[in-house]
Amino acid sequence: MIDPVIASRLQFAVTTIVHIIFPVMSMGLAPFLVYFTWKEIRTDEQVYEQLRTFWTKIFAISFVVGTVTGIVLEFGFGTNFAAFSTTAGELFGGPLALEGMMAFMLEATFLGIFVFGRDRVSDRLYMLSSVLVGLGTWLSAVWILVANSWMQTPRGYEMATKNGHPIVTLVDPIAAYANPRFPWMFVHMQNAAVLSVALFLTGVAAYFVWTNRDTEFWRTTMKIGLAALLVTAPFQAIHGDAYGRHVAETQPQKFAAMEAQYETDSAVGLKLLAVPTSLDDITDPHADDLFVVELPFVASLLASGSDPGATITGLNDIDSEQPPVAIVFWAFRAMVGLGTWFIVLAFWGGYRWLQGDLFEDDLLAKAFAGSSVLGIFTVELGWIVTEVGRQPWVIQDVMKTHAGVSSSLSGTHALATLIGFVGVYAALLVLYWYVVVRLIREEAPTRPPASKRETTVPEEVVPSDD
């Protein structure tokens, strides 16, 4: 029978990978919906009403499925990680409760007005509802990331014992909730969400332009998505560079795993391309055994912030168990590679836009269409680096992952919940994408918007030939 620790970790990994898709869609769409609503009210142009109406449907579906998968995901703490819940419950309870009471209630309440109230409330209240829906969405991320970032860089706590079980006692809420990792994770995650949705909007719109079914709706979607991509793609790289230095300072074993740096060395280059010289190196990618194309000194620059000759401590010299290096190394390579591609794509589109032939370049349209979901895929890779790179700790240097698994959980029960959770989440994912694709194909506007100022001459006043 399967090891309950392995089954529990697999279950949490799969359910999290599926769940993260829906918050990314809703968090990323929120600022676009605020912009569409503002433009609709300010300009009275009907294309913005079409944009707001259509993308609100995608937002609402993402919100509903994200809520369901998020709530069920939390059950996993009780079924499979009861020991972790007992140890960290006092600290985790606050952020999760605030996420439900503050963020979810705000988002759910005003989403009703935003979806159904356009003709029932004033423009000001409707605009306010769009802002508060977006605020609620982003506040959810605040509280979830407060909890997760504490697991990366725990602060403001003391360890105690209750009934023979170690528990975390919260002694300084500000230090705990405003821990060093939180601002890095929040900015990186929210920008990644907007970048992913900008890529999705641009990619879907480019597909319709490429297949000659473009309308003003899709052309406007493509321009707005590209404008957002031009801002978010370079910013993600700049912020990621600084974020890397923070990781090197606070979790050196994760940073060393990202570079497969086993031996302590100085003037280390950043590996842009890394190909194993033998199949054995795929699962154990020692830097010395890879064919690499690298930027000299850049890894040392990333780690230090200014010194190209800085020393990076290798995994063999870190007094801690090593994370699964291969997973972290390859996920990080893929994440950085795709992030670089997004910058190229953004500037390519920006150049075509300046040339006035944004909609005439079929190769660009194909590149955007083929990349439409790669932003979300890259977010998944980032979370793999974040979570797997922390292993074997579930709370860094406080509690190991195997110690957080429910002590009474048998292999049979763990396998049953694994099959059940994976089955339900897979079904929800398939259903979600079916509905989204169907909406895009069948309900996206296919005709130019009629002008609101267009007047219709009543039939009875049209002069007759008689």
pLDDT reported for residue 254: 92
- Does the pLDDT of residue 319 top 80, yes or no? no
Q: Please work out, in degrees rounded to the nearest 5, the angle formed at the alpha carbon of residue 23 by the alpha carbons of 224 and 96.
A: 140
pLDDT reported for residue 71: 81
Summarize the confidence of residues 247-261 as an average pLDDT: 89
- Per-residue pLDDT reduced to its tens digit, 442-454: 888 766 555 544 4
Extract the tokens encoding 398. Answer: 């406080």
pLDDT reported for residue 287: 65
The CA-atom distances, in angstroms, between 207 and each of 201, 267, 441, 463 are 10, 45, 11, 46
Instruction: Return d(Cα 259, Cα 303) in angstroms, integer.
Output: 11
Q: How many CA atoms lie within 13 A of 55 on its CB side?
A: 33
- Band the pLDDT of 466: cuts 50, 70, 90: very low
- Per-residue pLDDT reduced to its tens digit, 353-388: 999 999 999 999 999 999 999 999 999 999 999 999
Distinct helix (H) and strand (E) counts, the chain = 17, 8
Summarize the confidence of residues 128-144 as an average pLDDT: 93
- Per-residue pLDDT reduced to its tens digit, 76-127: 888 888 899 889 888 888 888 888 777 778 888 898 899 898 888 999 999 9
Can you tell me whether residue 308 is helix, strand or coil?
Answer: coil
- Per-residue pLDDT reduced to its tens digit, 37-59: 999 999 989 999 999 999 999 99
- Does the pLDDT of residue 328 top 60, yes or no? yes
- Does the pLDDT of residue 459 top 50, yes or no? no
Mean confidence (pLDDT) of the chain? 87
pLDDT reported for residue 199: 97
Helix H or strand E encompassing 291? strand 290-295
Instruction: Return d(Cα 405, Cα 85) in angstroms, integer.
Output: 9
CA 362 to chain centre: 29
Instruction: Return d(Cα 255, Cα 268) in angstroms, integer.
Output: 12
- Who contacts 398 (Cβ-Cβ below 8 Å, separation ≥6)? 154, 159, 168
Instruction: Return d(Cα 49, Cα 45) in angstroms, integer.
Output: 7
pLDDT reported for residue 288: 67
The CA-atom distances, in angstroms, between 334 and each of 211, 222, 251, 329 are 30, 26, 21, 9
pLDDT reported for residue 435: 94
Summarize the confidence of residues 427-454 as an average pLDDT: 79
Of residues 67 and 277, which shows the higher confidence score? 67
Q: Tell me which residue has tokens 């890259």.
A: 378
Under DSSP, the state recorded for 100 is: I
- Band the pLDDT of 215: cuts 50, 70, 90: confident
Q: What percent of the chain has pLDDT over 70?
A: 93
- Band the pLDDT of 412: cuts 50, 70, 90: confident
pLDDT reported for residue 226: 97
Summarize the confidence of residues 215-225 as an average pLDDT: 93
- Per-residue pLDDT reduced to its tens digit, 148-203: 999 999 999 999 888 888 899 999 999 999 999 999 999 999 999 999 999 999 99
- Does the pLDDT of residue 465 top 50, yes or no? no
- Does the pLDDT of residue 221 top 90, yes or no? yes
pLDDT reported for residue 390: 92
Per the CB < 8 A criterion, the answer to whether 185 and 145 are in contact is: yes
Instruction: Return d(Cα 188, Cα 174) in angstroms, integer.
Output: 21
pLDDT reported for residue 462: 44
pLDDT reported for residue 296: 83
- Per-residue pLDDT reduced to its tens digit, 255-305: 989 888 888 888 888 777 777 777 766 777 776 667 777 778 888 887 777
Instruction: Return d(Cα 34, Cα 212) in angstroms, integer.
Output: 29
Exposed, middle or buried: residue 12 (CB in 10 Å: 0-12, 13-18, 19+)? buried
pLDDT reported for residue 233: 96
pLDDT reported for residue 460: 45
